[in-house]
């Protein structure tokens, strides 16, 4: 009876319900836009994990990559055309083409386990976990490299910025950048992409987190 007597009020109520439902759909769509890329990045990392195993002596084995070794320090001079054949797509994109993973999506950005980090391209030893710290920048951060020759530094003026690029000392692959805002004793922050890192835990029964 009231609805027949007040058609305008009924229309307003219906319109409010439609607007509320629309806001909910927009919120869900926005959430999906954030969640799906992150999930895809995690899936890619999981796929990469399945491609290698940790042997009894604590070294990583990657049968599909003949250049990979955690013990061989020989400098590599391999063409990108060859790297493209043996590397996962995400590792190649960052390591050989200097791309960058999205902040807070890498599997090691907030990892806290004890162990050793290696170059995912060639297996070169890069960092120990006790040099890792929580910088909250969205990428794994270290204040010191494990060996003076394990990482090299290069001027990077891309995108109108002056930065120092870090590269693997063995295979010359892009790792990330280094900044002067880290903790003591070095005051450095090695900002590294998770995708170009492999991790071997001190305890084989534990992961990086």
Question: CB atoms < 10 A from the CB of 82, how many?
Answer: 11
Q: Which domain range does residue 183 map to?
A: 51-201
191 catalytic residue (yes or no): yes
User: What is the arithmetic mean of pLDDT over 158-177?
Assistant: 96
What is the distance between the alpha carbons of residues 92 and 98, in angstroms, rounded to a whole number?
9
Contact between 62 and 51 under an 8 Å Cβ cutoff? The reply is yes
Q: What is the mean pLDDT of residues 31-41?
A: 42
Residue 25 lies in a domain: no
Picking from 86, 90, 89, the residue whose alpha carbon sits closest to that of residue 62 is 86
- Please name the residues in contact with 3: beta carbons below 8 A apart, sequence gap of 6 or more: 9, 10
In this structure, is residue 95 part of a structural domain? yes
Q: Is the pLDDT of residue 38 over 70?
A: no
Average pLDDT, the chain: 84
Considering the domain boundaries, does residue 73 fall inside one? Answer: yes
Q: What is the mean pLDDT of residues 20-48?
A: 47
Mean pLDDT of 111-131: 96
Residue 80 lies in a domain: yes
Number of domains making up the chain: 1
Handedness of CA 96, 98, 102, 106 (dihedral sign): positive
Identify the residue whose tokens are 């003949």. Answer: 66
Q: Is the pLDDT of residue 83 over 50?
A: yes
Residue indicated by tokens 């391999």? 78
The whole-number pLDDT of residue 57 equals 85
Is position 20 within any domain? no
Looking at the predicted structure, is the pLDDT value of residue 173 above 70? yes
Higher pLDDT, 60 or 41: 60
Average pLDDT (92-117) is 96
Q: Model confidence at 63, in pLDDT bands (50, 70, 90)?
A: very high
120 inside domain: yes
Q: Judge whether 81 lies within some domain.
A: yes
Q: What is the pTM of this model?
A: 0.74
Question: Rounded CA gap, 194 and 143, in Å?
Answer: 16
% of the chain exceeding 90 in pLDDT: 66
Asked if residue 150 belongs to a domain, the reply is yes
CATH number for position 143: 2.170.150.20
Q: What is the mean pLDDT of residues 130-139?
A: 95
């Amino acid at each position: 009876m009231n609805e027949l007597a007040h058609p305008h009020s009924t229309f307003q109520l219906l319109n409010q319900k439609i607007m509320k439902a629309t806001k909910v759909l927009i919120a869900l769509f926005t959430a999906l836009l954030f969640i799906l890329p992150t999930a895809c990045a995690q899936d890619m990392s999981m796929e990469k994990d399945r491609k290698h195993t940790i042997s009894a002596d604590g070294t990583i084995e990657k049968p599909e990559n003949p250049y990979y070794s955690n013990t061989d320090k020989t400098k590599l001079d391999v063409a990108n055309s060859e790297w493209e054949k043996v590397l996962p797509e995400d590792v190649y994109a960052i390591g050989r083409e200097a791309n960058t993973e999205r902040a807070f999506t890498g599997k090691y950005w907030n990892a806290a386990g004890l162990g050793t980090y290696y170059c995912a391209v060639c297996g070169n030893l890069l960092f120990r976990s006790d040099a890792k710290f929580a910088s909250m920048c969205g990428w794994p951060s270290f204040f010191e490299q494990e060996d003076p020759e394990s990482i090299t530094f290069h001027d990077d003026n891309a995108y109108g910025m002056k930065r120092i690029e870090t590269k693997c000392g063995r295979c010359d692959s892009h790792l990330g950048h280094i900044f002067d805002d880290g903790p003591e004793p070095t005051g450095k922050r090695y900002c590294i992409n998770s995708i170009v890192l492999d991790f071997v835990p001190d305890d084989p029964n534990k992961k990086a987190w």
